[in-house]
């Protein structure tokens, strides 16, 4: 691999930065936003579609630690923006499989780095 390709990869924005820009510019489709985990309600899952790149963004957060990764949509047609019934079943499977993989990779951080609740002054 040439050094130029390595440098280009290092200079690409992270998935989290790309998602932040998509949300800021309102170019993301919110499929699931802050969906709580069944066992750990402080951990939230969000899934967004990016029609321009045909990607799904999966975000796991506990309010302190946040992880974002992407997967290409399994469909080329119809275009993501034209899917009138929301997220396709194949895309749902891809996104939730990625969420499961992210959970396995980051669960110790997500579960243990929870921000303690703010107590009321006495």
Residue at 3 is within a domain? no
Please give the biggest Cα pair distance in the chain: 63
Residue at 119 is within a domain? no
Read off the tokens for 104.
């396995």
Residue at 122 is within a domain? no
d(C-alpha 118, C-alpha 89), whole Å: 40
User: Over the stretch 48-97, which tens digit does the pLDDT of each residue have?
Assistant: 999 899 999 999 999 889 999 999 998 877 777 777 677 888 889 999 99
DSSP label at residue 13 = P
Read off the tokens for 79.
């275009």
Residue at 106 is within a domain? yes
Domain range holding 18?
11-112
User: Over the stretch 5-62, which tens digit does the pLDDT of each residue have?
Assistant: 444 466 789 999 999 999 999 999 999 999 999 989 899 999 999 989 999 999 999 9
Residue at 117 is within a domain? no
Residue at 118 is within a domain? no
Domain count across the chain:
1
Residue at 49 is within a domain? yes
Give the global pTM.
0.80
Read off the tokens for 59.
């975000």
Which 3 state secondary structure label does DSSP give 56? strand
Helix, strand and coil content of the chain, in percent to the nearest 5, comes to 40, 25, 40
Q: Are 37 and 91 in contact (CB under 8 A)?
A: no
pLDDT recorded at residue 101: 96
DSSP label at residue 97 = H
């Amino acid at each position: 691999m040439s050094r130029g390709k390595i440098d280009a990869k290092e200079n690409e924005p992270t998935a989290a930065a790309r998602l932040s820009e998509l949300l800021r510019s309102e170019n993301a489709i919110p499929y699931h936003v802050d969906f709580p985990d069944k066992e750990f309600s402080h951990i939230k899952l969000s899934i967004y579609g990016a029609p321009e790149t045909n990607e799904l963004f999966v975000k796991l957060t506990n309010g302190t630690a946040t992880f974002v990764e992407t997967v290409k949509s399994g469909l080329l047609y119809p275009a993501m923006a034209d899917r009138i019934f929301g997220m396709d079943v194949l895309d749902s499977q891809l996104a939730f499989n990625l969420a499961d993989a992210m959970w396995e990779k980051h669960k110790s951080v997500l579960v243990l780095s929870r921000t303690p609740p703010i107590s009321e002054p006495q």
